[in-house]
Structure 1
Amino acid sequence: MKFGIFYEHQLPRPWKEGDELKLFQDALDQVELADKLGIDHAWEVEHHFLEEYSHSSAPEVFLAACSQRTKNIRLGHGINLMPPPYNHPARVAERIATLDLVSNGRVEWGTGESSALAELGGFNIPVADKRPMWREAVEQCANMMAMDPYPGFEGKYFSMPCRNVVPKPVQRPHPPLWVACSNRETIKLAARLGIGALTFAFVDASEAKQWVDDYYRIFKEECVPIGHAVNPNIAMVTGFSVHQDAEEAKRRGMDGFRFFGYGLGHHYIFGEHKPGRTNIWEAFEAARDTMPEEGGNRGIGTPDQMRDHLRGFQEAGVDQVTFIQQGGRNRHEHICEALELFASDVMPEFKEKEAERQKRKDEELAPYVEKAMARKERMKELADDEIPTIVALGRQIAEEGKKTG
């Protein structure tokens, strides 16, 4: 299996001067450490207006900074919000390609749509339109990175004329494509479209196996790629706090993991929020005693407990496990200590045969990938004489002046 670390940039109230600065600088240090330890991926979300839960509104900036402090770790958008009112598809294509260039080809292109009304309403996105917006934008953004020039598009949610979208990414035709999944139906959609499933539902190993089996069965039988390459992979999230003493691991990491879930619930499910005033941490503290304890079955415990936890995912066929280690008020030094202990005492077992596992998987899927790519519905390339000429504005003004002079 591969391993990743995952960032929301959580910052519970009360806030004091310098807290956001420390939050981001600590996260950069953690990603740099993870790279040195051999962690495979660093994932960064995109959220807007979700106070306390996520202060990560410009992931491309954070990941670009990570790219200059690391050598090998893959840099994942987990995810880009794709509905055009959030991000015009051409701007996404430009930013993904630029990040791929400055990172020397280490980008993972995660996509999604969001279901938080603070975000959707802030950008005037109707709930009913968010999924078709995502789908239209992802397909066209992939076309922009792969085609030279992009022929232009007249769609339901955005339109643009023929342009050559530059720069192009290092990874051609585009970096590996993923979608955020919170349930089995989205997992099935990911398989049908040939993209990786970033699963943000906390499931046990037996349920994970059902999700994995569904995904790969549908990928083999039904995949019609939305992109110009497929990315058959499943990543699942878990909590993370590792210490030789199980109770100390809980003391250091359980509250942060529980706040992660509580903050998510507040913004997405049950909360009422007054911007700039609601104190989610205070409400969490009032509810803390009613919340279940979390331990080894959520990645919070001793190295042996973590090893057992991960074996369940490995046996289920999960490709990557991603750790939520920066949650609530988890302390930077504890996160770094846990990463180091994990890398020395747990990770080697799972890394030992990863290359062999990946080789077997690639060989098994190769004929299905070939069939899927043959089903791909491709945008028509323009012939040279069909590519429109863009006359510079200054020349247009000058020629108009000649006509009227």
Structure 2
Amino acid sequence: MKVGLFYEHQLPQPWEDGSERKLFSDALEQIELADRLGFDYMWEVEHHFLEEYSHSSAPEVFLGAVSQRTKTIRIGHGICLSSPNYNHPARVAERLATLDLISGGRAEWGTGESASLIEMHGFGIEPEQKNAMWREGVERTANMMTMRPYPGYDGQFFTMPTRNIVPKPVQKPHPPIWMACSRRESILRAARHAVGALVFGFVEASQAKVWRDEYYQIIKSDECVPIGHSVNANIAALNGMMVHENAEETMRRGLDGFKFFGYSIAHYAVYGEHRPGRTNLWRRFQTIKDEMKETPGSGSIGQPKSVREHLMGYADVGIDQMIFIQQCGMNKHEHICEALELFAKEVMPALKEREDERVRRKEEELAPYVEAALARKPSMPELSESDIPNVEAMGIVLERRTGKDYASAGGTFADPTRGGAIPMASRESFAKSTNVD
């Protein structure tokens, strides 16, 4: 079973000058350490307006920094909000391809819809629209990364003319696609779209096995029709994690942070009422934290032996990856780093044992089903050469609109919106170059 780290960039109040800077700096150090220790993945979310719970509103910037401070760890844009209201599909394609290029082909493409009204309404999205928005955004982004040029689109949620989106990613046809899942129905939907399931729900290994088996049954069935241009048949689960030789110290270091993670999800997505810039989640959490029960997701908070046994239960039922939440609540940076090192020494070897063989057998087993699924995917027709339009430059359009000569033989283009001049070839010289194509 592979292992990864999960980042929300949680920052409970009170906030001080420098708190956010330290938050991001600490996270980079943790990921750099995890890379050296042999962790397989790191994932970072995209959220907006979720004070204290997630200050990760521009993950593409943070992940760019990660790419330059690590060597082998897979870099998960997990998730990139996929509605065109959040992120135009062309911008997603550009950002993912750039991340893939600067990381040497290590990008993973996590997709999702968001689950909080404070985010959705902030970007003009109604809950009943979000699934259709997700599908339109993901499908079009995948096409943009694989087509030259992208033919254009007039859809329900965005419109775009013919353009060639650059750059293109290292991984062909595009980075592996994943989908955020919180319940059984969304896991099965991920399988129908032939994407990996990022299961952001906490269940015991026995329940995870049920979901895993149903997921792979669909991957092997005619229901599986890829939304992208590849099949990413993987299921990942989520656990809180803190490891220490002393059981009592482990709970002191990690349990409250994990409880706060659950409390803040409930606040923004289920029960809470929020006054932007005023509500103090950490203070509210203190009043009820002792009443909160431990969940299955806290099983990786403990001594190395118990954590190893707990995680082997998930590995034995075929979960492909376990992702760990450590940076949550008031968990301390030094405790997180100590836990990473102890985990790598005492727990990880058992999880990595026979992993290469497991992956090889799985790929052999799934190969005919992957081929069949890709054959079922409907393709977006490529444009014929005669249908690729000529896109006119601003000077041509302005000349036609105003009757003025903005591309004079003097060799400059006067921009009326800026009052400046840009050096360029003369009209006559430029005309010669257009015949090269």
Q: Normalising by structure 1, what TM-score?
A: 0.98
Q: Compared with structure 1, are the counterparts of its residues 264 and 205 closer, same or farther at alpha carbon in structure 2 (3 Å cutoff)?
A: same
Find the aligned partners of 1:344 and 1:387 in 2 and give their Cα distance: 57
Q: How does 1:19-98 map to 2 (within 5 A)?
A: 19-98=19-98
3-state SS of paired residue (2:49): coil
Q: Which residue of 2 aligns with 1:394?
A: 395
TM-aligned CA deviation for residue 352 of structure 1: 2.1
The answer to whether structure 1 residue 310 and structure 2 residue 311 are counterparts is: yes
Amino acid in structure 1 at the alignment position of 2:228 = G
| CA positional deviation for 1:298 | 2.2
Please give the alpha-carbon distance, in whole angstroms, between the structure 1 residues aligned to 2:297 and 2:250: 10
Cα separation, 2, equivalents of 1:50 and 1:401: 48
Return 5+ residue gaps in structure 2 as ranges. Answer: 406-437
Question: CA deviation digits over 1:299-335, x for unaligned, max 9?
Answer: 1101111111111111121000000011100000000
Mapping of residues 235-384 of structure 1, within 5 Å = 235-293=236-294, 298-384=299-385
Inter-partner Cα distance in structure 1 for 2:298 and 2:334: 23
Name the structure 2 match of 1:6.
6
2:218 corresponds in structure 1 to 218
Contact 1:47 1:57 in 2 (8 A): yes
Q: CA deviation at 1:172?
A: 1.1
The DSSP-based 3-state class of the residue aligned with 1:149 is coil
Partner of 2:5, secondary structure, is strand
Partner of 2:103: 103
Q: Could you say which residue in structure 2 is the equivalent of 1:180?
A: 180
Q: Indicate if the aligned counterparts of 1:113 and 1:134 stay in contact, CA closer than 8 A.
A: yes
Quick one: distance in 2 between partners of 1:51 and 1:130? 22
Structure-1 separation of matches of 2:401 and 2:246: 79
Q: Distance in 1 between matches of 2:296 and 2:402?
A: 75
**For the Cα contact (< 8 Å) 2:244–2:342, is it kept in 1?**
yes
- Residue 113 of structure 1 corresponds to 113
Structure 2 residue identity aligned to 1:392: A
Residue equivalent to 1:147: 147
Q: Could you say what the CA RMSD is over the residues aligned between the two structures, in angstroms? A: 1.4
> Which residue does 2:17 correspond to in 1?
17
**What's the CA shift string for 1:158-188, capped at 9, x where partnerless?**
1101100000000111000000000010000
Amino acid at match of 1:50: L
User: Equivalent residue of 1:111, what SS?
Assistant: strand
In 1: Cα distance, 2:320 partner to 2:72 partner: 18
Q: CA deviation at 1:115?
A: 1.3
Q: Which of 1 and 2 has greater Rg?
A: 2
Number of residue equivalences: 405
Give the Å deviation of 1:398: 2.5
Cα distance in structure 2, aligned partners of 1:238 and 1:176 = 22
- Whether the 8 Å CA contact 2:192–2:219 is kept in 1: the answer is yes
Distance in structure 1 (CA, Å) of the matches to 2:294 and 2:97: 43
Matched-pair contact (CA < 8 Å) for 1:259–1:284 = yes
Superposed displacement of residue 125, structure 1: 0.4
Counterpart residue number, 2:134: 134
Cα shift at 1:274: 0.2
Cα shift at 1:294: 6.1
Stretches of structure 1 lacking an aligned partner (at least 5 in a row):
none
8 Å CA contact 2:258–2:298 kept in 1: the answer is no
> Which residue in the other structure is 2:421 paired with?
none
Q: Is the 8 A contact 2:254 2:301 kept in 1?
A: yes
C-alpha distance in 2, partners of 1:149/1:18?
A: 45
Write the distance in 2 (CA, Å) between the matches of 1:66 and 1:403: 50
Q: Distance in 2 between matches of 1:380 and 1:298?
A: 49
| Distance in structure 2 (CA, Å) of the matches to 1:230 and 1:391 | 38
Report if the CA contact (8 A) 1:145-1:169 is conserved: yes
Moved over 6 A (4+): none
In the TM superposition, residue 396 of structure 1 has moved relative to its aligned partner by 2.3
**Contact 1:295/1:301, CA 8 A, preserved across alignment:** no
8 Å contact from structure 2 (residues 4, 41) kept in 1: yes
- 2-side partners of 1:51 and 1:36: how far apart? 31
- Whether the aligned pair in 2 keeps the contact of 1:250 and 1:294 (CA below 8 Å) is no
- 2:386 & 2:95 partners in 1: Cα distance? 30
Q: What's the offset of the Cα at 1:210? A: 0.5
Cα offsets for 1:72-98 (capped at 9, x unmatched): 000001100011110101000000001
2:203 corresponds in structure 1 to 203
The whole-number CA distance in structure 2 between the counterparts of 1:187 and 1:154 is: 29
- Quick one: structure 1 residues 385 and 294, their matched pair in 2 at CA, closer, same or farther if it must change by over 3 Å? closer
Q: TM-score, normalised by structure 2?
A: 0.91
TM-superposed CA distance for 1:246, in Å, is: 1.0
The separation in 2 between residues aligned to 1:316 and 1:278, in whole angstroms, is 42
| Partner SS for 2:179 | strand
Contact 1:10/1:52, CA 8 A, preserved across alignment: yes
- Give the C-alpha shift of residue 351 in structure 1: 1.0
Distance 1:262 1:214 in 2: 29
Query: Is this contact kept in 2: 1:254–1:295, CA < 8 A?
Result: no
Question: What is aligned with 1:192?
Answer: 192
